[in-house]
Amino acid sequence: MIYLNKKLYLTNYTMILPSVAVGNVAQLSIDLLISTLSLRKIGCIFDTCFIPLVGADPYNKTNQEICTSVDLYLSDEKKLVVLQIRTPLVKKAKKFFYEILNFVKDYKILKVIILTSCFGHDKRDEQIRTVPFCYLTTKNISKEFKQQFEELSWKGLESSFLEDSNKTIWQIHGGGFAQMIFELLQENNIISVVLFKFCSEGNNIPDAVELINCLNCWLQLFKIDSKFKFPPSWNFVFGKSTPKEIY
Amino acid sequence: MASFFGEVVYPVSRAFWNDEDDHEVLENTEDTREFVINWIESEPSKLDKFIIVEGEMMIDFVTKTILENSKLVCIIEYDCDKNSTRIYLIDNSIYVCIVSTKLDLIHTGQLTEAIAPILSNSVNLYTLTSDHMLHFKSDEETNSISFLKKLCSSRSQSNENSEISTLNQPNFVTGACAGVFTYAEMTDLPCIMYILYTDTFILDSKNALPLVELFSDLFGKRPNLSAVNSSFFNKGNLYM
């Protein structure tokens, strides 16, 4: 169920969504994007495939707004719709994927960018020697975008050949549902790009910064040398300060 | 744990539920079980006050102090009898939903979806839950042994009780209470969530104090502590 707090016109907008993946890199990247661009919340999605969650606004300490498991944010200036997911996927998400697909179709959104991450140990020969990012695009992507990716020296995801089934496949280990939603969008002729970073579990804030910087080189959402605004909700990522009583 | 010498153990990620990559969650067989709502009394067309209670400590307190002379009006079954969530009626006006303590967190979204028609028929929604103080994150130092926080849906913000402060970020609540609150926010229903933070996992006469005051407002009467002869006060610091 999608709830929107106002009527929207999103023709030719870009939608960015995270896949719940290794190190939560994509979700952290979306947090950075919402906080840095001061995006406005426009609604939320309730689906039983996610654990329900509510809390105070993660991006503004004084705001009375609440956050839920899946929220939608908007920037009219940048022509951007951003989806944030705050809980893991616990059930089949087919209904959720179709809800996203219908939203994209109904509002005539131009392209969908899926951010995710992949286990660092999964890197192959060429990937070890180059930047730790890879991308995957639908076949209907424009020549202009392809040229931009080449200019940015982005590397396409290498496919694997399965001898048993005589098939060529793409795999993003630890990438969550990114590939599934990508395939659904591809089947429905929606221009989509999966952008991911190889990483390992730990403090993944630097990975998120790098992933957003990489995305920004393409979309030009903010000045390349501008500083990120970290959301105040990140202040306790490593827990509270130690209680004085223990000294 | 690795069971064979030389076995390749792939790293897991905190991002996945039960260490399962989302691919695995999606490939697992679909859980076709559903919640079944059985009304013992006739289903009410309008609920003036519907209170959802979740968490062992909160349920224990409500059951012992409030539900004494209540009437069981509805059983919401899932999987087996042990997992049933129950709705009680107090004074012919207040409906209290006790969420089964056996209900897995992953099914709480489904429960919310199942009780959505009941939520839609409610005039005022309240949710009660609790958590340990260790999980509460804040810059402010607190010396109190328990305190209440609240969250108000957009519709209920004008009716908010000013004595209890709003839950500050980055704290959050998960589960059935969160599901009900989300549903209320999406359907423009007034809903207030109360969260009790305590320094123990059991209630005693001191840390239950914020609840005593809240329940006086919420249920229109002080909780009957004197009638309680077991359980929630019996695990204090006394050894005998």
- Read off the pLDDT of residues B140-152 as tens digits, 9 standing for 90 and up: 777 788 999 999 9
**Average pLDDT of span B128-147:** 87
In Å, how far is A153's CA from the nearest CA of chain B?
Answer: 29
**Average pLDDT of span B38-65:** 90
**Contact between B31 and A235 using a beta-carbon 8 Å cutoff:** no
Residues facing A41 on adjacent strands: A73
* Chain B partners within 8 Å of A48 (Cβ): 109-110, 112-113
Instruction: Determine the pLDDT at residue A91.
Output: 86
**Average pLDDT of span B63-74:** 88
pLDDT in tens, A132-174: 888 999 888 878 888 888 888 888 887 777 777 777 778 888 8
Candidate from A90, A174, A233 with C-beta closest to B25: A90
Mean residue pLDDT of chain A comes to 89
Percent of chain B, pLDDT > 90? 40
Among A66, A171, A198, most B C-beta atoms within 10 A, so best to mutate, is A66
Inform me whether the pLDDT recorded for A197 exceeds 80. Answer: yes
**Contact between A234 and B30 using a beta-carbon 8 Å cutoff:** no
User: Which of A157-171, A192-206, B2-16 has the largest mean confidence?
Assistant: A192-206
* Chain A partners within 8 Å of B22 (Cβ): 19-21, 88-89, 93, 176-177, 180
Cα–Cα nearest to A90, from B21, B171, B85 = B21
**Average pLDDT of span A53-80:** 93
Q: Which pairs count as long-range contacts for A222-230, CB under 8 Å and 24+ apart, including other chains?
A: A222/A36, A222/A37, A226/A36, A228/A32, A228/A35, A228/A36, A229/A32, A229/A35, A229/A36, A229/A38, A230/A32, A230/A35, A230/A205
Instruction: Determine the pLDDT at residue A128.
Output: 74
pTM of the shown model: 0.90
* Chain B partners within 8 Å of A88 (Cβ): 15-17, 22
Instruction: Determine the pLDDT at residue B230.
Output: 52
Mean residue pLDDT of chain B comes to 83
In Å, how far is B168's CA from the nearest CA of chain A?
Answer: 6
**Contact between B182 and A55 using a beta-carbon 8 Å cutoff:** no
A49 to chain B: closest CA residue: B109
Does A7-246 carry CATH code 3.40.50.2300?
no
Inform me whether the pLDDT recorded for B30 exceeds 70. Answer: no
Instruction: Determine the pLDDT at residue A174.
Output: 86
Cα–Cα nearest to A97, from B183, B182, B22, B106 = B22
Percent of chain A, pLDDT > 70? 100
pLDDT in tens, B166-209: 998 899 999 999 999 999 999 999 999 999 999 888 777 788 88
Inform me whether the pLDDT recorded for A218 exceeds 60. Answer: yes
Confidence of residue B80 (pLDDT cuts 50, 70, 90): low
DSSP codes, chain B: ---STT-------TTSGGG--HHHHHHSPP-----EEEESSPPPS-EEEEEEE-SHHHHHHHHHHT-TT-EEEEEEEESEEEEEEEEEEETTTEEEEE--TTS-GGGHHHHHHHTHHHHHTEEEEEEEEEEEGGG---SS----SEEEEEEE-GGGGGG--TTSPBPPTT-EEESHHHHHHHHHHHTT--EEEEEEEESSSS--TTTTHHHHHHHHHHHSS----TT--SGGGTTSS---
